[in-house]
Amino acid sequence: MPPSEGEVCQAVLSFVTDGAYPEESVVAAEFPATALAKELELISQAREQVENEISSLSRENTTFDADDWIVQAKQLHADIERSRVTAREIVAQHEHTSPLRSKVEDASAKVALVETEIAFNQAVAETLEEVQRLCQQLENGRAALVNGQLTAAIEQLDSMKAAIGKDAFFTNTNVMSILTLEVAQFREQIEDTLRVRWQEQLKVDRQRGRFQVIKGDGADSLDNTIASMSRLEILSSASEKLLKDLCVAVVDPILLPRADGKSRAVEITDTGIHVQSEFSETTVSETLSRITTVLDYLRQNLPQSISSELPQSLIPSVASKAISGWLSSSIPTTLEGLGNFEETLDCVMQFANTISSWGWAGMEELVSWVNQAPRLWLTRRRVDSLDSVRKVLAASKGTTKQVERVEKEQVSRADEALLENASDDWDANWDEDKEEESTVEPTTVAQPEEEEDVSAWGLDEDAEEEPKLDTTGPSGDDDADDDAWGWGDDEGEEAQSDQNQLPQADTAAKSVDGGKAAQSSAPREMTLREVYTVTDIPDSILDIVRQQIHDSKDISQPPHSTSRVASSGAGLLALPTLILAMFKATSTSFYSLKLSSGQMYLYNDSLYLAGQIRELMEEHELSRLSSDVEALEKFGKFAYSKEMQTQSTIVTDLLDGAQGFGQCSEQPFKTECENAVSASTDRIRDVYKEWQPILSHSALLQSIGSLLSTVINKIIIDVEDLGDISEDQSKQLVAFCNQVSKLEDLFMPETTDDAEAIPVTAVYVPNWLRFQYLINILESSLADIKYLWLEGELGLEFSTDEVVDLIEALFAESSHRRSAIAEIKRAPRG
């Protein structure tokens, strides 16, 4: 409940008298207006009570003396009044002296200003006097310059520069800037005058090729000009320009011949040097003699301060230009020029000795050039031989010729019987496991004689698999040139072609039908011949190689044996390797751009050149060329492999238009399949016509056989992938396969007297028989297929699973199909 009015008044009184804080309920209550009078009364009573207590306490304290306190208070009041009066007097006095102090300060400032103005006026006067003196010196210097007194003008210039740098009164004034500019202009006038006099005393006419020295005398002497230019520190730049002008006007016309080897003669008289304007035939000795005369004139007529710079600035340039302009081109590329080259080396040494006898340095380059003559000659031969390869390729007209390859092979009587119908196809090589490959290389053309492949005879159809030989891909034993020209990178991207090695002569040959081995009788030697086409390039390259070998022998014989470069004769034998490397590096682009079927020409040319180099190697016993011959053969095979890869890709892409022969009996898929098969077969015939004049007959059949094998392999895979083959589809597939089979007419023997010659397609197309059996399966009944498996040779070409899959795709589910499949699975294969 709220507090009463009395409780509120008592709480306020307690807060006033004792400082007691009221309770929370009292604080929250409202103070009534009616209680104000009562509260004032309570406070008044409390005040009276306190006063009474104080009076009572005062009376009880008898020791307190109020009078003393009153006296002291009055005395203190009197002291405060006196201090106040004193302060007023001090303030008054201070106010009275302030005007006087201001007058004193003003007078002092005026005195300081007058003193500063006096000092400034004195400084200005002195500066003006100094400026007047400097201007007078400048006028005197210009007057001396006009009168030709260069020494006096330079002395005035030095004096003014020293005075300006020492005077600090007008360092940052406009007068200083003007004087500095005037002094700089005066210096430029002196320098221009000195340069004009320099050019008049050392006249260089770059256009007419003249140089004249006018030494003069007295103040106008060349020595005085040089001394003055040295004081101004412009002698070095002037000398440098003079030497450059001498090179352009005199040295270059002598040392820099025209393209035809002509140069200018020089005439030296008492008046100076004159290079004639007409060009004439010049030898190295005459050129060096002219330069010697020119340098001797400069040595004798130029002042010592200038001529001393010739060995450091002019002589190295003379040596370099002599080497580049005359000496390098004098290095002969044939042995017939070695005599003149020896005379040139003697002239160079005589020239170097003459310059050295003057005490001049800088002949080290020429002496080193002479000492390195054997290496330089060998380098020139290397460059010339490599350039000759480039010229041979560039100048070739693409003319071709046919060459014959003759090889001898040891064959048994049984093998000979197998060759009766295909004796001209001895160079074929095929691998019965090559069905999944896109390219096949003719290896006999590329391999050495002891490794010739006779697989075309049919001796190795069922032979045991021999180790493979990689002939196209990059190998670890390739010569260094392959890496140098970057072929390894390209070869690594191509598919490698593996081929069977040649079986040994005493190995039993297998029959074509894969029957039992027949015992071979005593071997008999057979001569195998065929022709192929090459360009004119291999013979030209062979001439370059042969020249290096012959020169290597001739240089060690008189009269060349006494030459300085005779020691480099052995180095010539390293050039054939570089020549062949250059051929490999540059021929690919040439054959591709200038020849149709260039890669096949490159293949023939490379193997033909390799064979010729091998004969040259055996003739001169150069075993070091063995690796180069092998690398060249690999290079040719690689070109063949690239072309085969390209053509294989083309026919594969064309056949892709059939889209796996799905729904090949329905339009529009039927038309697409017909177009794809026709395009691929036409492409193979076009390639056959294109390569027929180039490749040997066996290589041609092998190449076309590889492309046909690619087409057949894709067809077989596509057919086997068909899950369901209707009767119409089967008939259409047979039609497509028969169209491809017509390419068999390309595989006729090259020459035969038999009007009924049998194509050798099965020899060059590894999957040909498999393809023919596929046609039989597609058009045969279930009984016929079972007969081919049980009684025929279907098992030699197809596996059990493949035959079963084809039967399930061709025939509907029935008891006959189940019975046939069961018999096929139970029966032994082939």
CA–CA separation, 603 and 600 (whole Å): 5
- The SS3 assignment for 308 reads coil
SS (H, E, C) 406-469: EEEEEECHHHHHHCCCCCCCCCCCCCCCHHHCCCCCCCCCCCCHHHCCCHHHCCCCCCCCCCEE
* Burial class of 496 by CB neighbour count within 10 A (0 to 12, 13 to 18, 19+): middle
CB 327 within 8 A of CB 369: yes
Residue 795: CB atoms within 10 Å: 18
Domains of the chain plus CATH, in order, are 5-60 (no CATH), 68-171 (no CATH), 194-371 (no CATH), 400-643 (no CATH), 648-826 (1.10.357.150)
Task: Show Cβ contacts of residue 693 under 8 Å, excluding neighbours closer than 6 positions.
Answer: 533
Q: Among 196, 96, 767, which Cα is nearest to 431's?
A: 767
CA–CA separation, 397 and 394 (whole Å): 8
User: H or E stretch including 401?
Assistant: strand 400-411
Q: What is the DSSP letter of 275?
A: E
From residue 755, how far is each of 147, 507, 650, 758, 760 by CA, in Å?
119, 34, 35, 9, 15
| CA Rg value for the chain | 59
CA–CA separation, 731 and 388 (whole Å): 62
Task: Show Cβ contacts of residue 478 under 8 Å, excluding neighbours closer than 6 positions.
Answer: 488, 631, 634
Count, residues in the chain: 830
- Residues in the chain predicted with pLDDT less than 70, given as ranges, are 1, 58-66, 165-173, 218-219, 408-523, 751-756, 829-830
What pLDDT shows up at residue 529?
Answer: 82
Report DSSP letters for 381-394, one per residue. Answer: HHHHHHHHHHHHHH
Helices and strands of the chain, counted as H and E runs: 32, 8
What pLDDT shows up at residue 449?
Answer: 34
From residue 459, how far is each of 504, 518, 575 by CA, in Å?
12, 11, 43
Q: Which two tokens stand for residue 815?
A: 């008891």
Residue 234: CB atoms within 10 Å: 17
User: H or E stretch including 210?
Assistant: strand 210-213
CB 641 within 8 A of CB 497: yes
Question: Max Cα separation, the chain?
Answer: 178
CA–CA separation, 14 and 18 (whole Å): 5
Per-residue pLDDT of 350-391, as tens digits, reads: 999 999 999 888 889 999 999 999 999 999 999 999 999 999
Q: What is the DSSP letter of 20?
A: P
Per-residue pLDDT of 479-532, as tens digits, reads: 333 433 433 434 333 333 333 322 232 332 333 333 333 334 456 777 778 899
What pLDDT shows up at residue 137?
Answer: 74
What pLDDT shows up at residue 599?
Answer: 93
Our measurement of the distance from residue 396's CA atom to the centroid of its chain's CA atoms, rounded to an integer in Å, reads 31
Strands (E), 271-398: 272-281
Output the CA torsion sign for 120, 121, 125, 128.
positive
What pLDDT shows up at residue 167?
Answer: 59
What pLDDT shows up at residue 64?
Answer: 53
What pLDDT shows up at residue 409?
Answer: 64
CA–CA separation, 725 and 733 (whole Å): 9
What pLDDT shows up at residue 540?
Answer: 94
Output the CA torsion sign for 45, 46, 49, 54.
negative
What pLDDT shows up at residue 473?
Answer: 35
What pLDDT shows up at residue 518?
Answer: 37
